[in-house]
Amino acid sequence: MHAATALASDHPIARAATVVPIQPAVRREPPTQRSPRCSACAMRAFCMPPELSADDLKKLDSLICSTRSVRRGDALYRAGDAFQSIYAVRAGSFKTMVMHRDGREHVTGFQIPGEALGLDGIGTGQHNGDAIALEDSVVCIIPFAQLEAMCREIKPLQHYIYQMMGSEIVRESRQMMLLGTMTAEQRVATFLLGLSRRFKARGFSAAEFHLRMTREEIGCYLGMKLETVSRMFSKFQRERLVHANGKTIRIVDPDALARV
């Protein structure tokens, strides 16, 4: 007879050995924090239209009142998740991506502070791809249903949302042109110059910046192999167009890079 069955049910050892049923794991939503006031945020000029009145900003403060921290490598949302909010990158950076049926990853964009995430969910009510943090990042959460209602009251805000959607269409069209008509050299030059302009618009250096994405992720975005991306960086460095020190890039000759 097994030793456990030899114990009486009221024996102290038997009581101590009583099996406690394992409770199923409960999926918890990522923690959110109270957001600093939108009206006092240094990034507001990149997230919101400049012509908002003081009353409009008070309304926004009541709408955009929480943030979410996302650790490097974690997802803000995944493909198939229900669409509820759009997000403004407050700090850090992200990549958006979709997975092919064969498991290959295709990067559809990189987002830096002041840029929006989540617009892909508006059409179908669910997100089309994943948004992954490239570093420890923070986003402002903008509930879309409440944003729609507020847009009916604040026309400049409504127009700005239309502009954001239009810009996304233009960005995707440019991406198709980049992948379909440009050489490998032209793709990498266009990518670096585009990042330079975006950093400059946010008050950062246009000449020197740190790439949070890997060379492989750049290749996934540009439709190129890792080896080709590395070869183009080396070529630009030999020609003294850029200087690469690890992930830190310094554009030495922007005019010559633009001519590429």
- The yes-or-no verdict on residue 48 having pLDDT over 90 is no
Encode pLDDT of 157-201 as tens digits.
Answer: 888 888 888 888 888 888 888 788 899 999 999 999 999 999 998
Asked if residue 221 lies in contact with residue 229, where contact means CB atoms within 8 angstroms, the answer is: no
Encode pLDDT of 204-229 as tens digits.
Answer: 889 999 999 999 999 999 999 999 99
User: Given this model, what pLDDT does residue 22 score?
Assistant: 40
* DSSP letters for 141-185: EEEHHHHHHHHHH-HHHHHHHHHHHHHHHHHHHHHHHHHHH--HH
Kindly report which listed range (10-14, 80-84, 113-117) carries the lowest average pLDDT score.
10-14
Main-chain dihedrals φ then ψ at residue 60, nearest 5 degrees:
-65, -35
- The yes-or-no verdict on residue 19 having pLDDT over 70 is no
Report which of 136, 75, 95, 128 is spatially closest to residue 222, judged by C-alpha positions: 95
Kindly report which listed range (45-54, 74-83, 122-131) carries the lowest average pLDDT score.
45-54
Domains of the chain are: 32-171 (2.60.120.10), 182-259 (1.10.10.10)
User: Given this model, what pLDDT does residue 221 score?
Assistant: 94
